[in-house]
Amino acid sequence: MSEKTRIAVLVSGGGTNLQALIDAEKSGIIKSGEIVLVISNKKDAYALERAKNNGIKAEVVLKDNGQEDFESKIIALLENNKIDLIVLAGFLSILSANFTRRFDKRIINVHPSLIPSFCGAGFYGLKVHEAALSYGVKVTGATVHFVNEVPDGGEIIMQKAVYIQDGDDAKTLQKRVMEEAEWQILPLACEKVSKKILEEKK
């Protein structure tokens, strides 16, 4: 089967999750999809370098002229590149209901907790891990879910638990959740959804 699901990855920062996806594609974990485009809303995001280093087209779209203009530019890029699946990998810009409805069941996101815990508006980055530690939970993890108009509110695709250890702070916990959960389940979920999209196209 030569045809693959065409994937765009939306990023804002260092792109460690993007790297996990690139590595998974190279190693054959992702075999039904191909990353063909990376879009960043920050022009200095290191994720753009990762894309270029791996021969992936990289574009920057800034939110200088408001949300509508920002999203219409992203939509134009997605359509021009015939994108089937959008992966949010540390993309720190909330997308509107108009955008998410347009790509229903075609956008996935990885969130660094076991949804429905520590999720929703304002929960991103270290804040998620700080909340988990201050609440005193013994198990956290990561969730890959479809994206809808509710932040972290879409249908769950995959989850993986990570145990909190004595002496953890937000940074050590963030690193372990990435290594043990995010970088494991994001590629697996990406393959699962890519495969389903291909089957639907037949």
111, 129, 145, 192: which one is catalytic? 111
pLDDT category, 121, cuts 50, 70, 90?
A: confident
- Using CA atoms, how far apart are residues 22 and 139, in angstroms rounded to an integer? 28
pTM beyond 0.85: the answer is yes
Cα 184 to chain center, whole Å?
13
Largest CA distance in the chain: 51
Residue 6 has pLDDT above 80, yes or no: yes
Please give the pLDDT value at position 1.
46
pLDDT exceeding 90 applies to what percent of the chain? Answer: 94
Helix/strand/coil for 39? strand
CATH number at residue 189: 3.40.50.170
Instruction: Examine the residue annotation and report whether 129 is marked as an active-site residue of this protein.
Output: no
- Using CA atoms, how far apart are residues 180 and 35, in angstroms rounded to an integer? 23
Structure tokens at 69: 């203009």
Q: State the Rg of the chain over Cα.
A: 16
Mean pLDDT of 168-175: 97
Q: Which domain holds residue 195?
A: 5-201
Residue 180 has pLDDT above 60, yes or no: yes
Q: What is the pLDDT of residues 127-161, one digit of tens each?
A: 999 999 999 999 999 999 999 999 899 999 999 99
Tell me the pLDDT of the chain averaged across its residues. Answer: 96
Please give the pLDDT value at position 2.
60
Structure tokens at 28: 């054959």
Q: What is the pLDDT of residues 15-59, one digit of tens each?
A: 999 999 999 999 999 999 999 999 999 999 999 999 999 999 999
- Using CA atoms, how far apart are residues 20 and 17, in angstroms rounded to an integer? 5
Q: How many domains does the chain have?
A: 1
- Using CA atoms, how far apart are residues 183 and 166, in angstroms rounded to an integer? 23
Lowest mean pLDDT among 1-10, 17-26, 163-172: 1-10
